[in-house]
């Protein structure tokens, strides 16, 4: 029982971690989007450079927006012990491992927490409840 209560704290921390980093990611995506479009105004004579910068800025911002949104949704789902949220956060955490060093630490910790037998029991109990 003590171990399960301890894992609830870990799951809550992982949820808060993903929500917090997701919000930071959303702000970063907006900054990248507006930053690229700000630079876009200074290269009016170069239509090829404008197309490349526009495509690059939009693509990077959309990718960050997508994964940040998944992290927020998964983090919210973890607070309710939804089984789909556990799977979603493990997938997002695996992708976060590519973001060295902070994303790697967050990803490894999240995967460790969500793969523990006590954590799996928490999410299985929520199906039966």
Could you give phi then psi for residue 97, rounded to 5 degrees? Answer: -60, -20
> Would you tell me how many other CB atoms lie within 10 Å of the CB of residue 99?
14
Tell which residue, 61, 58, 60, 86, has the closest CA to residue 74: 86
Q: Could you give the CA distance from residue 13 to residue 119 in angstroms, rounded to a whole number? A: 13
Report pLDDT digits (tens) over 100-114: 999 999 999 999 999
- pLDDT, residue 126, reads 59
Domain boundaries, the chain: 2-128
Distance of alpha carbon 33 from alpha carbon 120, whole angstroms: 39
Q: pTM for this structure?
A: 0.89
Span 27-64, pLDDT tens digits: 999 999 999 888 888 888 888 988 898 899 999 999 99
């Amino acid at each position: 029982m003590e171990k399960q209560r301890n894992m609830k704290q870990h799951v809550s921390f992982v949820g808060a971690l993903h929500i917090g980093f997701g919000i930071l990611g959303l702000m970063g995506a907006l900054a990248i989007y507006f930053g690229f479009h700000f630079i876009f105004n200074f290269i009016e004579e170069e239509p090829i450079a404008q197309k490349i910068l526009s495509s690059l800025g939009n693509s990077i911002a959309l990718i960050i927006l997508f994964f940040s949104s998944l992290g927020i949704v998964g983090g919210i789902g973890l607070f309710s012990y939804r089984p789909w949220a556990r799977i979603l956060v493990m997938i997002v955490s695996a992708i976060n491992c590519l973001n060295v060093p902070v994303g790697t630490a967050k990803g490894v910790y999240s995967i460790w927490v969500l793969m523990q037998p006590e954590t799996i029991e928490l999410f299985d109990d929520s199906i039966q409840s």
